[in-house]
């Protein structure tokens, strides 16, 4: 039969392939369909690319002993050349991971065009995707969930996120915007310049010298503002570039003990700030691509934060030298701020009057009003995210899981608050957030000013069938979480701080009927899981059935 339908027409009509739906433009007289853009394949202007010059001479290693570090910020003309190469050809489109089916693979997303951009620019960038993946395999736990292979973004599986209150290094989440620079410790130094009285260069030995700078040791939870983004995505998709908006679950949070020095002391060592400097800009040696431009990873924090001794330059993580993937040999750790400000592979600190003009600071990590989106967004409409609000998450059980219990469901999770606030109370609800039980204080891990608390709780639950378990935290300032994802939804999909909700199917074995039925499944050897398979036996004898109606009367009554 001839048909106008596509094979997946039903799925598309049902919104199960949302990205394939045409837009309806009803703004004119008649409705016009706007079909999703189709990529037209590779176009490459070889002559234009060749005219730029030899990448092996243009895009070179900036410093001996710093593999994969290409300096961009000092050389506008070099940036322009990379831009020309990138705009003289086309690359594959953004993968659809919000409205389309998510692949069943680990890594979930390969980062195809990010790899291609590195290869297209060439020179020192050529081997970075392979070198970075080799580091992932060497430094990370084999059970990590790789959301994006390159630039590497990965989180531990739920069962390991809160298995320890201090996250072992191999299980700490990783969030990269580019490749991993491989820096030799002996060749390492960084500069502190800009609006300071005496700009200086420091080696690791300089800052590790305890007679010059007192050491700081802090237990710190680092949280990416994208944590739990998948909840926003699954209800209301938003901006969809796989690096800025990586589809994190609850694992983009981790806790470690960092050793380093307070940045404040270093600024003092440089004679202090001058000329009204109010912000400190951090430079990371990795290369980030955005809108066909190449750049190093740059962000800034206000001086007030540094002055409070809440910005550490750290070389040690959980008693080991910083792993390469976490910024070896030196990174910034900003207490209580989103992870994005804690720059890895630090090579420069610059004192400025205003916050960094870099795109990561000014155009990303923005928190928009709900009505802001692709159709109207401007960077000035977003709040630059700094401190994370209070949040929490359930690590066990899982969304859509069936739990057989005796009237209590064993739950585990974490709770965290940014800005130097801490979880003071964690509450769970088994009825969608109508009634709340308090997690006893002895079931929470220790409290510290800058860290999360992990928790465990046997949540009373009498009801059976689909229930909604909800978790929320109250921090020490009595801030708590909005109750719906929608209340906090935003175009950049940041800061999913709403109470964490999971749908669980409750089978309460403390009820006699349920207990007998489960025994029957076991006795016959009939499969109980999956839930949706019909049971393969008579659930009631005809005798029992007839006896019931004899006693209780027929289905219908005479009037």
Ligand X SMILES: Nc1nc2c(c(=O)[nH]1)N[C@H]1C(S)=C(S)[C@@H](COP(=O)(O)O)O[C@H]1N2
Which positions touch ligand X (CB under 6 A)?
A: 172-177, 222, 224, 284, 286, 297, 326, 339-340, 342-345
CA 126/CA 448 separation, integer angstroms? 43
Pairing of strands 401-405, 500-508: parallel
Environment class of 554 (CB within 10 Å of its CB; exposed 0-12, middle 13-18, buried 19+): exposed
Q: Six-digit token pair at 155?
A: 């989180």
**Is the Cβ of residue 66 or residue 173 nearer to ligand X in the bound state?**
173
Q: Select the binding partner of residue 174 from Mo ion, ligand X, none (C-beta < 5 to 8 A, by kind).
A: ligand X
- Sheet containing 279-290, strands listed edge to edge, beginning at the edge strand earlier in sequence: 200-203, 189-194, 346-352, 279-290, 293-302
CB nearer to ligand X: pick between 139 and 269? 139
The DSSP annotation for 53-76 comes to: --HHHHS--SSTTEET----TT-H
Q: What are phi and psi of 72, to 5 degrees?
A: -110, -35
Rounded least distance, CB 526 to Mo ion, Å: 47
Nearer to Mo ion among residue 334 and residue 428 (C-beta): 334
Q: How far is the CB of 28 from Mo ion (least distance, A)?
A: 42
What residue is closest to Mo ion based on CB?
A: 224
Taking the C-alpha atoms of residue 509 and residue 511, their distance in angstroms, rounded to an integer, is 5
Of 175 and 305, which CB lies nearer to ligand X in the complex structure? Answer: 175
Q: How far is the CB of 340 from Mo ion (least distance, A)?
A: 4
Residue 316: how many other CB atoms lie within 10 Å: 16
Sketch the per residue contact string, 340 through 379, with Mo ion: x for CB under 5 A, - otherwise. Answer: x---------------------------------------
The 196-225 site mask, x for binding Mo ion (CB under 5 A), equals ----------------------------x-
CA distance linking residue 291 with residue 276, whole number of Å: 32
What is the four-CA torsion angle of 394, 398, 404, 408, rounded to 10 degrees? 10
Judge whether 140 and 172 are in contact, CB under 8 Å.
Answer: no
CB of 519 to ligand X, least distance (A): 48
Rounded to a whole number of angstroms, the minimum distance from the CB of residue 246 to Mo ion is 8
Provide the minimum distance between the beta carbon of 459 and ligand X in the complex, in angstroms, as a whole number.
30
Interaction partner, residue 218 (Mo ion, ligand X, none; CB < 5-8 Å by kind)? none
Build a one-symbol-per-residue string for 308-347: x at contacts with Mo ion by CB under 5 A, - elsewhere. -------------------------------xx-------
| Least Å from the CB of residue 340 to ligand X | 4
- Residues constituting the chain: 559
- Closest approach, Cβ 481 to Mo ion, in A, equals 20
Give whichever of 299 and 439 is closer to Mo ion, judged by the CB atom: 299
Residue located via tokens 């606030």:
421
Strands (E), 3-136: 23-25, 32-34, 66-67
Burial of 380 (0-12, 13-18, 19+ CB in 10 A): exposed
Question: Could you give the string, one character per residue 163-182, with x where binding to Mo ion holds by CB under 5 A and - elsewhere?
Answer: ------------x-------
By beta-carbon proximity to Mo ion, the closer residue of 334 and 439 is 334
Q: Which does 343 bind (CB under 5 to 8 A by kind): ligand X, Mo ion, none?
A: ligand X
| Residues lying near Mo ion in the complex (CB under 5 A) | 175, 224, 339-340
């Amino acid at each position: 039969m001839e048909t106008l339908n596509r094979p997946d027409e039903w799925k598309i009509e049902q919104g199960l392939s949302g990205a394939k739906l045409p837009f309806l433009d009803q703004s004119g007289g008649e409705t016009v369909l706007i079909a999703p853009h189709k990529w037209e394949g590779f176009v490459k202007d070889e002559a234009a690319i060749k005219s730029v010059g030899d990448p092996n001479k243009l895009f070179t290693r900036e410093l001996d002993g710093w593999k994969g570090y290409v300096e961009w910020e000092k050389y506008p003309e070099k940036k322009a050349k990379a831009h020309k190469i990138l705009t003289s050809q086309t690359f594959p489109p953004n993968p659809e991971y919000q409205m389309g089916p998510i692949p069943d693979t680990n890594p979930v997303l390969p980062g195809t065009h990010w790899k291609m951009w590195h290869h297209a620019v060439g020179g020192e960038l050529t081997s970075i995707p392979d070198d970075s993946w080799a580091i992932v395999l060497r430094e990370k736990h084999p059970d990590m969930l790789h959301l994006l292979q390159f630039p590497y973004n990965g989180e531990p599986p739920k069962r390991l996120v809160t298995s320890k209150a201090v996250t072992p290094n191999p299980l700490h989440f990783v969030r990269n915007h580019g490749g991993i620079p491989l820096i030799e410790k002996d060749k390492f130094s960084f500069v502190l310049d800009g609006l300071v009285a005496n700009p200086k260069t420091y080696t690791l030995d300089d800052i590790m010298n305890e007679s010059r700078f007192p050491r700081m040791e802090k237990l710190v939870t680092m949280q990416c503002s994208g944590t739990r983004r998948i909840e926003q995505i699954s209800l209301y998709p938003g901006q969809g570039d796989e690096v800025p908006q990586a589809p994190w679950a609850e694992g983009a949070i981790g806790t470690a003990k960092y050793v380093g020095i307070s940045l404040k002391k270093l600024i003092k060592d440089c004679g202090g700030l001058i000329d009204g400097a109010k912000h400190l800009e951090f430079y990371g040696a990795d290369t980030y691509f955005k809108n066909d431009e190449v750049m190093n990873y740059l962000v800034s924090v206000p001086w007030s934060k540094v002055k409070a001794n809440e910005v550490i330059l750290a070389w040690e993580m959980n008693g080991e030298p910083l792993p390469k993937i976490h910024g070896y040999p030196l990174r910034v750790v900003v207490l209580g701020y989103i992870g994005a400000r804690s720059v890895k592979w630090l090579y420069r600190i610059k004192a400025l009057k205003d916050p960094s003009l870099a795109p990561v600071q000014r155009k990303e990590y923005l928190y928009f009003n709900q009505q802001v989106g692709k159709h109207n967004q401007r960077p000035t409409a977003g709040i630059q995210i700094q401190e994370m609000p209070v949040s929490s998450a359930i690590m066990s059980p899982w969304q859509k899981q069936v739990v057989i219990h005796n009237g209590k469901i064993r739950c585990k999770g974490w709770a965290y608050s940014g800005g130097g606030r801490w979880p003071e109370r964690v509450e769970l609800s088994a009825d969608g957030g109508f009634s709340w039980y308090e997690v006893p204080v002895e079931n929470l891990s220790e409290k510290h000013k800058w860290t999360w608390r992990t928790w465990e709780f046997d949540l009373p639950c009498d009801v059976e069938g689909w229930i909604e378990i909800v978790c929320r935290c109250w921090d020490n300032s009595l801030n708590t979480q909005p109750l719906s994802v929608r209340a906090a939804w935003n175009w950049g999909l940041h800061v999913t701080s709403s109470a964490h909700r999971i749908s669980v199917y409750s089978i309460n074995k403390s009820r006699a009927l349920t207990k007998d039925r489960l025994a029957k499944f076991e006795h016959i050897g009939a499969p109980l899981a999956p839930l949706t398979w019909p049971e393969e036996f008579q659930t009631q004898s005809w005798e029992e059935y007839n006896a019931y109606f004899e006693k209780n009367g027929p289905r219908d009554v005479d009037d």
